[in-house]
Amino acid sequence: MKILLINTPVRFNKWQNLEMPLGIAYIGSELERRKHSVVIKDYEVEPFDEGQFTGYLKGLAPELVGISFRSASYASAKTICCLIKKVNPAISIVLGGHHASAFSVQTMSDMPADFVIRGEGEYTMPELAERIAQEGDFSKIAGLTYRLGGKILENASSENIADLDRLNFPAWHLLPMDKYVTGSILTSRGCPFNCIYCDKGISTRQVRFRPVENIYKEIAEFEKKYKKRRIYFVDDYFFLDKKRLRGLFELLLKDKELKFKWSCQARVDGVDDAGLLADAKKTGCDLIIYGIETGDEDELRYINKRSVLGQAERAIRLTKKAGIRTRANFMIGFPISTKETVTNSVRFAKKINADLYRFFIVSPLPNTVLWERVIEEYPEISRVSWDKFDFYTPCFDTKGIKRIDLVKYVLAAYFYVLKNKVLYELTIGFIPRTLKLFYLTVKNRRIRGNLSKVFPASVNLFLEVWFIIRNLAPYKRIAYLRQMLLIAKAFK
């Protein structure tokens, strides 16, 4: 069967997310294993034009199209879904991803799709393709939502894939690999914690690990083929099993030809071993992203993070001491947030002195405890367009801050925590850093990655602020920047 898999963006031709879509790459690999002809289009990184897409679809003539999307990319998925049915109503469409899994019936009621795969799709998708080819019965496919006689039916949920070692490596050759600066590798699925903002509809709290030998083999094969020299481990919690990590590090250190830089996400309460960090550094780790989320004790309890602020300070300190850069992620705008709690959080962010920062606006995603709390307290949120759930757009007023002001608080947070670092980079440190930039640019003949290495705080501040205000009218940009300075001043 000829199958087209599509990764949809929040907004076409904006290229906001440059991460490899491992979900459909894994599914593509399993489909190819069963001799299906598979094509992948990643519209997160590829240009999209409706006319060109319909022409491409007519030429390709797929029998089945799989569309992966998240809440914020709902509108894009619906656009593609409608275009497909307009070109050829006989093409079967299956939807997948966190949003479709959480709201399968509602989504199918709004889109002209034929199926939704809820949960992990590596085994379900090939089974569905076989049933479509044989015009068989869909009622026995676990995890499937489908249409029958004008009704939308939901089968029983599917089991998580217990043995990840049985999966083929992702079908990298089907992706536009030249578009990705960084390679992506998944070494485990699931997270045992229960933070209220996290969607466990697919990954779940059941943690499943891949064997270290299998991970090493994938890394070596990936780097040999594509030579990205940078890998991002996309696990929910990469440092969860320290013994496993030590085993992986041993294999990587034995391979003298395998040289690459890597980054990952981690919880602050799980990074307390200076020796393990030193080994991570030796294997090429140059950035750990910590989901601290808030520096206010009340907010920390509210989101059920199960960590304390002292652990965040320790993790940042140990990581930097090991020579590894740190990025601290925070969220602003929980339902209980007030000006006081946000001020506490931003002050703490500056106190820990991370190398880089990201401040996100709270977006309550479907199938989370946070969504249930917000929908109960703010029922009007159900009328908000899904593209607003992008972690940059406020969706509701908090206890003490109007939604229109939340963006200004995010801007002020960036300015407050980064201004002194930027001043240093552009004054005392300017000449030596400029010389270093010149040296690195001559050495590797590119400036893009070097600029963020040499002037990290300046690039961090400029890019994040510009990303937030870029679509505003010029007079609004000025007004927002003025408010940014006033609020940042109040943080002191």
**308-360 per-position pLDDT tens digit:** 999 999 999 999 999 999 999 999 999 999 999 999 999 999 999 999 999 99
Would you place residue 441 in the very low, low, confident or very high pLDDT band (cuts 50, 70, 90)?
confident
Helices (H), ranges, 155-296: 212-226, 242-254, 274-282
Residue corresponding to tokens 């705080």: 457
The DSSP secondary structure of 346-366, one letter per residue, reads: HHHHHHHT-SEEEEEE----T
Strand pairing partners for 209? 188
**Which pLDDT band, with edges at 50, 70 and 90, does 201 fall under?**
low
Confidence of residue 206 (pLDDT cuts 50, 70, 90): confident
Establish how many alpha carbons lie within 13 A of residue 436's alpha carbon, considering only the half-sphere containing its beta carbon. 14
Confidence of residue 200 (pLDDT cuts 50, 70, 90): low
- CATH superfamily of domain region 2-154: Response regulator (3.40.50.2300)
How distant, in Å, are the alpha carbons of 229, 232, 289 from that of 455? 21, 22, 18
pLDDT tens digits along 59-69: 999 999 999 99
Give mean pLDDT, residues 441-459: 86
- Is 23's pLDDT higher than 90? yes
202, pLDDT greater than 70: no
Same fold, 2-154 and 181-401: no
Cα separation, 28 vs 18, in Å, equals 19
Mean pLDDT of the chain: 95
- Is residue 113 within 8 Å of 67, Cβ to Cβ? yes
Helix or strand holding residue 406 (H, E): helix 403-426
Q: CA dist 175 to 15, 19, 251, Å? A: 15, 11, 28
Q: Which fold has domain 181-401?
A: TIM Barrel (3.20.20)
Arithmetic mean of pLDDT, 295-306: 96
How many CA atoms lie less than 13 Å away from 484 in the CB half-sphere? 23
What's phi and psi for 315, nearest 5 deg? -65, -45
Q: How far apart are alpha carbons 423 and 458 in whole angstroms?
A: 8
**What are the structural domain ranges in the chain?**
2-154, 181-401, 411-492
Question: Residues 122-125: contacts with CB within 8 Å, 24+ apart?
Answer: 122/26, 122/27, 122/30, 122/161, 122/167, 123/30, 123/158, 123/161, 124/158, 125/27, 125/30, 125/31, 125/66, 125/94, 125/96
